[in-house]
Amino acid sequence: MANITVSSDIHDFMQSANKAAARSNLDLDNADGGYEFTGGFTDRTTGLAGQSDVGSNVQYTQTMVDAGTWLRFGFDSTSQATNDVPYWTSPTPASATGIGLFGGSYMPEGVTSMFDYSFNASTYSNAVTSGDLQYTAATGSLDYTQCKAGDLALVRFDFNLLPQVVNTTIEVALIWQTRDSSDNATFTFSLTGEPLFYGVGTVGRTFLNRPILSAYFASNEDVNARALPAIRADNQVQIQPLTILNTIQR
């Protein structure tokens, strides 16, 4: 009877250990998401991320209107270092240099980068001036290369808009390009959100907008995608890119 008792105890212990290991693996697989925030837009030359809702005017021109061109907003390292300056003292801010305003403090499990400020590849960064999908040149990208299939991206693009013509409709999108494991582009398209409409009484006034765009990752090509925020309008407008909040949900 004693031997049976010992054997049973060992069996119970092994079952408990296996269950604990399984829970540990499940916790890792389902680790919480997170976010990073930046004002490192190349076109933002005034104001600081998180401190100011005033930026630099960029003109969406009549030529863009006529061609249906998406005006993209890229990132660069110089703008990131200038604009992402922590405005708080407690908790002690992490270094924002090359990362974002929060210095990676709140990123998802296993992720150390959510923006690529130096990305510049001709297949995505160059302008496209013909066809059904036209967009302006821009460097940098949202960075999901350390994420995984099954993640969900929520991207809040903060900008000021000044309508110049009554009854103007604005489309906001991510210009999204999936890429294979060798970084060859596979598909490029606009992930477009709900349009914004500016009617009577809006001309010459500045409006702060914070639309949220979403993207799911169904494959490794989605994880390796390149993406930038963009707008398109049916009339001329002035826009001030301010900040972008890049969130991963799991």
Of the candidates 144, 157, 115, the residue with the CA atom closest to the CA atom of residue 217: 144
Closest listed residue to residue 42, CA positions, set 118, 102, 145, 93: 118
Q: What is the mean pLDDT of residues 50-77?
A: 96
Q: What span, in angstroms and rounded, lies between the C-alpha atoms of 137 and 231?
A: 13
Using DSSP, state whether 186 is helix, strand or coil.
strand
DSSP state letters, 118-152: S---HHHHS-B-SSS--B-----EE--TTS-TT-E
How would residue 36 be classed by pLDDT, with cut points 50, 70 and 90? very high
Looking at the DSSP bridge assignments, the partners of residue 206 are none
Global pTM reads 0.87
pLDDT given at position 78: 97
pLDDT in tens, 88-145: 999 999 999 999 999 999 999 999 999 999 999 999 999 999 999 999 999 999 999 9
